[in-house]
Amino acid sequence: VNDKVYRSNAIELFFGKEAAKTFSSSDFWTDPFHPDDVEKIKESLDKAIKNPDVQKWKFDYRIINQERGIVYVIDQGVIVRDAKGNAIRMVGAMADITEQKLFENENTFKANLLKRIGQAAVSTDLCGTINYWSKAAEDIYGWNAEEVIGKKMDLLIPNDLNALEVAEISQILENGKTWSGEFQVQKKDGNFFPVRVTNAPVYDDDNKLVGMIGISSDISKERENQELLKRYTQDLERSNEELEQFAYVASHDLQEPLRMISSFMEQLKRKYGNQLDEKAHQYIHFATDGAKRMRQIILDILEYSKVSSPIDLKEIVNVNQVVTEYKLLRKKLISEKSVRITFPDLPILHIHKVGITQILHALLDNAIKYSKQEGSPIIEINAVERQGDWLFSVKDNGIGIDAQYSEKIFLIFQRIHNPNISRGTGIGLSTAKKHVELMGGKIWVESRLGEGATFYFTIPKSS
């Protein structure tokens, strides 16, 4: 060994135009080997040279070429030894395998990607012979890759597609398009189950159709959940219908005895009033007033039971007109209590009229009902257009609400008990909340006791 390295002109293709052709072996490692590969090359080469039984050395590594970037090579040589087995010379050749390596890396990346997506990936040639079978396909269909490669897909994995449907799918793929659908397939244990499949054509480097690849997933659980949801929905609809029917029948059946109570109390007062003392008249008043309040509760329950998903068509609703109609409806009460309602420039919406009407009526009734004894009630209605919804507010100068009741007041039959205020049924705000939520909005209140209250509600533009 004379410590000299001789290389042909072709070495420039690997290390660049400045690569030396003849140099000392001590300068060998100054060439632009990839820094991550240098120690591996040294270790492999040293091991081969020191082992007298090794006649050939072979190793692939990377070179950093200034013109070409990273170059992948396979370096191999024949080790010439003396009679004692000592290495005295190495004659070798180097081949560029960059294109092959990049292709392998790409395929490895794709294979790893298919393994990780959690869906079965299966490819076949034009005859339907399986040539790729992912790990997820093994898990879903029960067959190992070794058992299916080279087998016909339609024979191995039967499905419930008929010949016409199969022909249509094949035609779509041959036209260069993808196909997606759901059908039943059979796994290795013989059981059928539903899958969702997307098939796509596969082409070679000459853009010639050579096969297809299918990505499929087991949708058994999804189907079960759909059926469960369907059953729950049907049960809920039936329950709601029964509840509405019960509320309707009960309200009508209950109103009849209440009318009898009120009627007989009035007759008792009219026929025997002059024979009764003040205490008796007070009892008659309590009984009559109680019957009236009970009737109002029944009517409110009936109204609340009717609140469900809107079945009326959406229409153009001028919210200003809704408030104006409320003022006409409550004209006597507004006049008696000197109520002032202001509503500057409310919007015109494409919405279910019944819903927005009952919301505003309930909030306005609540504001008047819980006004202060002194002074005139002032109610301000405003609406602000936001990016995805309308924000409405109904502000009053009434008695206000303690913070601890800010959520409770929206529950049915929940009232703020105050001996100085006439009792409500506790259903109005619940009805308003139900309508708002059916529209996809939210409702809440901001208030301090003694300082009035502001009710807010939103109506999504999509509603």
Taking only the tens place, the pLDDT of each residue in 331-379 is: 999 999 999 999 988 999 998 888 898 899 999 999 998 888 888 999 9
Beta bridge partners of 212: 124, 201
- The predicted model gives 385-399 an average pLDDT of 93
- The predicted model gives 225-249 an average pLDDT of 79
Position 404 scores a pLDDT of 85
Position 235 scores a pLDDT of 81
- E strand map for 348-388: 348-351, 378-385
| Class at the top of the CATH hierarchy for domain 117-218 | alpha beta
The Cβ-side half-sphere exposure at 344, using a 13 Å CA radius, reads: 2
Pick the CATH number of 315-460 from 3.30.70.100, 3.40.50.970, 2.60.40.10, 3.30.565.10: 3.30.565.10
228-305: CATH architecture: Orthogonal Bundle (1.10)
Position 443 scores a pLDDT of 95
Are 201 and 174 in contact by the 8 Å Cβ rule? The answer is yes
> Nearest CA to 98 among 72, 76, 74?
72
Are 169 and 197 in contact by the 8 Å Cβ rule? The answer is no
Give domain limits for the chain. Answer: 4-102, 117-218, 228-305, 315-460
Position 2 pLDDT exceeds 60: no
Pick the CATH number of 4-102 from 3.30.450.20, 3.90.980.10, 3.40.50.970, 3.90.228.20: 3.30.450.20
The structure's pTM equals 0.46
Asked if domains 4-102 and 228-305 share a fold, the reply is no
Residue 412 three-state SS:
coil
- The predicted model gives 167-189 an average pLDDT of 90
Which of 117-131, 148-162, 221-235, 301-315 shows the lowest per-residue confidence on average (mean pLDDT)? Answer: 301-315
- How many C-beta atoms surround the C-beta of residue 310 within 10 A? 16
